[in-house]
Amino acid sequence: MSAESVELVVFDMAGTTVADDGLVERAFRAAADRTGLIGPDGPEPLLEHVRATMGQSKITVFRHLTGGDEQRAQEANEAFETAYAELVSEGWCTPLPGAERTFAALRAADVRIALTTGFAQATQEAILDALGWRETADVALCPATAGRGRPHPDLPLTALLRTGASSVRAMVVVGDTTSDVLSGLRAGAGAVYGVRTGAHGEAELRAAGATDVLAGIGDLPAALGLPS
C-alpha cells in the first residue's frame, strides 16, 4: 500500500500498542483460582489454551475452558476482567515503545485510528484512562460494541463504518496474534501487519497470512511510507 492510500489503521491493544508483560496470563490465572477452574494438572493446560487463543474475545475463551457452561464462563470472565482492572489500577499498564510516536505520525498524515480489544468495554476504558488515550483514537471497540470478537472481521469492519473510510482496501490492521491477522484478512484489509511484541512469533504470524511482520509498532510508519 502507498502512504496516500491509507485512510484507517486498526490496532490491537494488549501486546501491540500496550505492553502485556504477562498481565493477561496473570489475570487468567487469578480468574481460574477464584472460580475453581484449575484442575489436578494445575494451571498450565488452561494457560496453553489461553496463549493459543490470544486476541480472541475472552468470554469465548472461557466458554471453551468451562466446556460450554455459560454461567461458569460468565463468572470466570467477570473474575478475569476484575483481575485485569486491578493490575491496570496498580500501574502495570504502559504503552509499548513507539506507540505514541506512531499515533502522532498517523495523525499528521490525516490517517484515522481505531483501537480494538478482546476485553470487556469497562476494561478497555480503564486501559485508555490509565494511558491517557481517550482522545488518541477516532474509535475504540471491543466485542460488546462491534458484534463478534476476533478472528471474525467485525472489529475492523465496524471501525471502518464508524470512521467513514472509503474502502476496506484503504484499511490497515495491526496486531500481535494470529487472531488479529485472520480478522484483518477476513475484513478485506489492504494490509495486515503482525508485530513481534506480544503473544505470537513471526513464524506463526506469517503462517496466518500477515502481509509483513514488524519488530514493533514503532516500525509501522516506515512500513507505510510515512515520516516517523
Considering only residues 181 and 82, tell me which one the structure prediction assigns the higher pLDDT: 181
What is the reported pLDDT for 115?
97
What is the reported pLDDT for 3?
65
Of the listed ranges 31-45, 70-84, 167-181, the one predicted with least confidence: 31-45
Q: How far is CA 62 from CA 39, 58, 147, in A?
A: 15, 6, 17
Region 123-141 average pLDDT: 91
1: confidence class by pLDDT, cuts 50, 70, 90: low
CA torsion, ordered 65, 66, 68, 69, to nearest 10 deg: -160
